[in-house]
Amino acid sequence: MPELAPGQMLDQYELLDTIACSGMATVFRARDIENDRTVALKVPYLQYSSDIVSHQRFLREEQIGLSLDHPGVIKTFRPAKRSRLYLVMEYVEGELLSVRLQRERRFPIPSALELAIQIADVLVYLHDRNVVHRDLKPDNIMILSTGKIKLMDFGIAFDTNQRRITWTGFSQPVGTPNYMAPEQIKGQRGSPRTDIYSLGIILYEMLTGKVPFSRRNVYAAMQAKILKNPIPPRRLRRDISPELEEILLRALERNPRDRLQSALEFRNALANPDAVVLTDRSAHRRPASRLAVWMWKLRALAFGLSSSREVRKVKGPEI
């Protein structure tokens, strides 16, 4: 069976054109001929459709998507029938946050805060329903013409109430290094505070024009994230208030226990920065312990971290 291409039919859907391609799937813009609705179809490549772990992941992504109903989340639909594995999603037009960042580099502070509050609102909704996204990044955030956002791609999200899937010997992306939390780099499953960290990275980038742990290669960037602290953002942009810097640095704590405790706390702090209690966090950043340095080096040696844009595990973590 050949891979699909625009112009072909897939059950009730006419494939119109290709929106995006990833390492695992192609996303098509398509027309639902039963109701004349434009949708997006995420179709895994054939080798992944027949793989049991990939199959389970796609079914889990669909299950999570069908359970969500929020204006800030791309909707998922269930087809009337399905002859092969694929996901049917809401099609929206807009601009990816990553594209806007490339064009504008850094945003006016009110604009950055407005977007971050919207993203935090979505995280509050997800976390209240026990869903952790785990791949929050500008490429997965669409900004509509109205200024509202849509969060996309729940491919590595998980429901904390569902059982874990474990496997070995399977190479699979588990996140994007620039936006991953330290615990993800360590191979841990993650928690709602993992999404809080990723949102902190996104807000830092919107305000300063750069991610906090930018290095020449992926290995160095991840090592820095495990062992070092971010440059306080006011050193890069003086009109950032001390209160906003405090919020950012709390979101970017290496240890999840030291971070903002919930997406709601993050959202409320961003909406009311004057109520934030200042500490000496920006002046006295704790260095990583010598044990942490050696543990990181041993882990990197054992897992053979990739230098590609996304991390690939030789031994898959619990997901």
pLDDT of the chain, 319 residues: tens digit per residue: 678 999 999 999 999 999 998 888 999 999 999 999 999 999 999 888 778 888 888 899 999 999 999 999 999 999 999 999 999 999 999 999 999 999 999 999 999 999 999 999 999 999 999 999 999 999 999 999 999 999 999 989 998 887 655 433 333 335 688 999 999 988 888 999 999 999 999 999 999 999 998 777 788 888 888 888 999 999 999 999 999 999 999 999 999 999 999 999 999 999 999 999 998 876 655 555 555 556 555 555 554 544 444 443 333 333 3
pLDDT the model gives residue 317: 36
pLDDT the model gives residue 312: 38
Q: Does 129 lie in the same domain as 75?
A: no
Task: Tell me, yes or no, whether 160 lies in a domain.
Answer: yes
pLDDT the model gives residue 163: 61
Q: Does 298 lie in the same domain as 177?
A: yes
Whole-number Å distance between alpha carbons of 190 and 177: 14
Q: What is the residue range of 81's domain?
A: 9-90
Domain's final residue, options 90, 113, 135: 90
pLDDT the model gives residue 318: 38
Q: Does 190 lie in the same domain as 57?
A: no
Task: Tell me, yes or no, whether 318 lies in a domain.
Answer: no
Q: What is the edge-to-edge ordering of all strands in the sheet holding 95-96?
A: 95-96, 141-143, 149-151
pLDDT the model gives residue 293: 55
Non-local (6+) Cβ contacts of 304 within 8 A are 314
Identify the CA nearest to 14 among candidates 47, 37, 46.
37
Task: Tell me, yes or no, whether 157 lies in a domain.
Answer: yes
Q: DSSP secondary-structure letter at 217?
A: S
pLDDT the model gives residue 313: 35
pLDDT the model gives residue 174: 55
> Residue 300: beta bridge partners?
none
Q: Does 250 lie in the same domain as 139?
A: yes
Q: Does 100 lie in the same domain as 86?
A: no
| Predicted structure pTM score | 0.85
Distances (CA, A) of 295 to 71, 289, 298, 301: 42, 10, 5, 10
Following DSSP, what letter does each residue of 89-107 receive, concatenated?
Answer: EE----EEHHHHHHHHSS-
What CATH number does the domain containing 29 carry?
A: 3.30.200.20
Task: Tell me, yes or no, whether 4 lies in a domain.
Answer: no
Q: Does 179 lie in the same domain as 112?
A: yes
What CATH number does the domain containing 103 carry?
A: 1.10.510.10
- Of 32, 121, 135, 195, which residue is the catalytic one? 135
pLDDT the model gives residue 175: 64
pLDDT the model gives residue 307: 40
As a residue count, the chain comes to 319
Per the structure, the count of domains in the chain is 2
Q: Does 69 lie in the same domain as 144?
A: no
Q: Does 100 lie in the same domain as 33?
A: no
Q: DSSP secondary-structure letter at 293?
A: H
Whole-number Å distance between alpha carbons of 267 and 117: 5
pLDDT the model gives residue 220: 81
pLDDT the model gives residue 118: 98
Q: Does 139 lie in the same domain as 261?
A: yes
159 belongs to the catalytic site: no
